[in-house]
Structure 1
Amino acid sequence: MNWMMMLVVLLGGGATAVQAGVNGALGRKVGTIEGAFTSFLIGTVALFLIMMFLGKGNVLQIVSLPKWQLTGGLLGALYVIGMVFAVPKIGVASSMVAVIAGQLLTSTILDHFGVMSGKPIPIDWQRVLGIVLLAAALFLFYKK
């Protein structure tokens, strides 16, 4: 296993938890949609600057891509709006457990059919057990 990549992804997961809290606070001050817009605007400017100085690809290639590959921004907007809306109501931890549960369930189905990777990874009892345990974690985190 590539431990460096695992560490990068682990740090990314930590960043999403902090991002959820930051965006939740932002949404309380300026509104849900306005908070999500502000978050994406600042992220867009940051990515534009990073692309200008460090980018090695060709952004103009987007015109030749299958249209479904351009939906990532819409899906990201749905995520950010959901977190801006949920965090003030149920907290960062419950929101993150729900996000992780949704990610795990959806990615397990995608893997089973090989939808994004092209390589099917069948659902087995260990994956089902992981989903069940995560559902239990969601219940325990959200339970008042």
Structure 2
Amino acid sequence: MHHALIMLAAGIGIPILAALNARLGANIGGPAAAALVLFTVALVATAAVTLITSPQALTRIVSQPPHLFAAGILTAFYVLTITWIAPVFGVGNAVFFVLLGQLISAAIIDHWGLFGARPAELSPIRLFGICVMAAGVALTQLARRGS
């Protein structure tokens, strides 16, 4: 249960991250500069946690397959796009499409056990559940536009 709560907190943080970084980008007149600030702060925080919890892991980085480093590119893509798009599209709208993309991608990754993930078949009931989740997220955005 504690894993679920931690991930719930991470999920709560994503729209906050989007709103804060979008505002920083607007305030300083440079969304890419705001993303750079975000990554600099994140690097310092992550370095501190790594040095405290598992400094030996740093020695194994160079032996990893290059494709695993694509996660950094995907993170940069997310932060840059949410920082540029949220101020003009709305944080809710931007996060809605991020959530929709996450649902689709997670289902594909789980179904085939991609990237070493524990496989979980995309059964009809799981597909229905994902569709219900997507519909729920869509309804929140439709309700928002109606008010």
Instruction: Give the structure 2 partner of residue 69 of structure 1.
Output: 68
1:118, 1:85 → 2: CA distance? 31
Instruction: Give the structure 2 partner of residue 94 of structure 1.
Output: 93
1:37-48 superposed matches below 5 A? 37-48=36-47
Runs of 4+ in 1 over 6 A off after TM superposition: none
Instruction: Give the structure 2 partner of residue 13 of structure 1.
Output: 11
* Larger RCO (alpha carbons 8 Å, 6+ apart): 1
Paired amino acid for 2:113: G
Report the alpha carbon displacement of residue 51 of structure 1 after superposing the two structures with TM: 2.3
Cα contact 1:94–1:141 (8 A) shared by 2: no
Runs of 5+ consecutive residues of structure 1 not aligned to the other structure: none
Residues 1:129 and 2:128 aligned together:
yes
Paired amino acid for 2:60: Q
TM-score (norm 2): 0.84
Runs of 5+ consecutive residues of structure 2 not aligned to the other structure: none
| Aligned alpha-carbon RMSD (Å) | 1.9
Question: 3-state SS of the aligned residue for 2:68?
Answer: helix
